[in-house]
Amino acid sequence: MSNLSFKRGVFKEELKNRFLCLVEVDGEDTLCYIPSSCRLSNFVSMAGKTVLLSPVAATDARTKYSVEALAVGHEFVLLNMSKANKVVIDNIHSRRFAFLGKRSSIKKECMIAGYKSDLYIEDTKTVVEIKSILSFRGEAEFPSVYSQRAVDQLMKIEDLLEKGYRACYVFVSLNSKVKHLTLNNKLITYRNAFHNCIEKGMVVKGVAIKLKDGEPLIWSSLKVNV
């Protein structure tokens, strides 16, 4: 979808329901959907800024548009965190991911011994966990807040590593301006679980996305300091 296919609007405010917001579209305040599991106001002030909107396909949907990207300087930064998984899936066979080895048989959202893997490479018994990062600084920190779910995922990955599986943890920055990522060392439980997986062989990869003509592309590598 090109930028010309998007509808432009001016962001007004997020509502109490974190998936809903108001955007001025064609001069009218319009209820829109935000495809993000966290409140975007935690990351950036959006009020008064231009956003790109895509039409919601469902005819019975509560909202008419979905907020896809935010104007930052002369570029648009992707806000739809679910697109991070698709970008990795679309590029998993590229040379950028050659370190994963043979990739002829890949399954999406596959259950492996009680763990739901974003991707599972059957050739090498590799589980792939994808984490999207939203930051508007040159360096990002992850996680921004404590998540028991993220800790539980790492504990399951550690168990799989002990059982002979391989694992790859992929960080995807939605902003191509982000060059470095560091673990949030204040969240000790997450940090320790992450390091336990590293010690048992988990591989870490970081990439940054850029929105080009409305399509999210892997633009550069993201340095991850663990």
**Tens-digit pLDDT string for the chain (226 aa):** 444 478 999 999 999 887 899 999 999 999 999 887 677 777 788 899 999 999 988 878 889 999 999 998 888 999 888 888 889 999 999 999 999 999 999 999 999 999 999 999 999 999 999 999 988 888 999 998 888 999 999 999 999 999 999 999 999 999 999 999 999 999 999 999 999 999 999 999 999 999 888 789 999 999 999 8
Mapped onto helix, strand or coil, the DSSP state of residue 166 is strand
Q: Do 221 and 206 lie in a common domain?
A: yes
Q: Specify whether 106 is located in the same domain as 43.
A: no
Q: Are residues 12 and 62 in the same domain?
A: yes
Report the amino acid identity of residue 96.
Answer: R
CATH of the domain at 68: 2.40.50.580
Question: What is the number of structural domains in the chain?
Answer: 2
End-to-end CA distance of the chain: 36
How many helices and strands (H and E) does the chain possess?
3, 15
Q: Which of 56, 78, 100 is the last residue of a domain?
A: 78
pLDDT at 17: 82
User: Which of 174-210 are b and which e, b meaning 16 or more Cβ less than 10 Å from the residue's Cβ?
Assistant: bbbbbbbbebeeebeebbebbeebeeeebebbbbbbb
Half-sphere exposure of 153 (CA within 13 A, CB side): 20
116/197 same-domain check = yes
What is the domain range of residue 56? 3-78
Residues 212 and 109 both lie in one domain:
yes
- What was the pLDDT predicted at 2? 46
Q: What is the pLDDT of residue 10?
A: 97
Q: Report the CATH number that the domain containing residue 153 is assigned in CATH.
A: 3.40.1350.60
On the 0-12 / 13-18 / 19+ scale of CB atoms within 10 A, 172 is: buried
Q: Which residues contact 73 (CB under 8 A, 6 or more apart)?
A: none
- Pick the last residue of a domain from 78, 105, 122: 78
Determine the pLDDT at residue 38: 74
| Domain edge (last residue) among 78, 94, 128 | 78
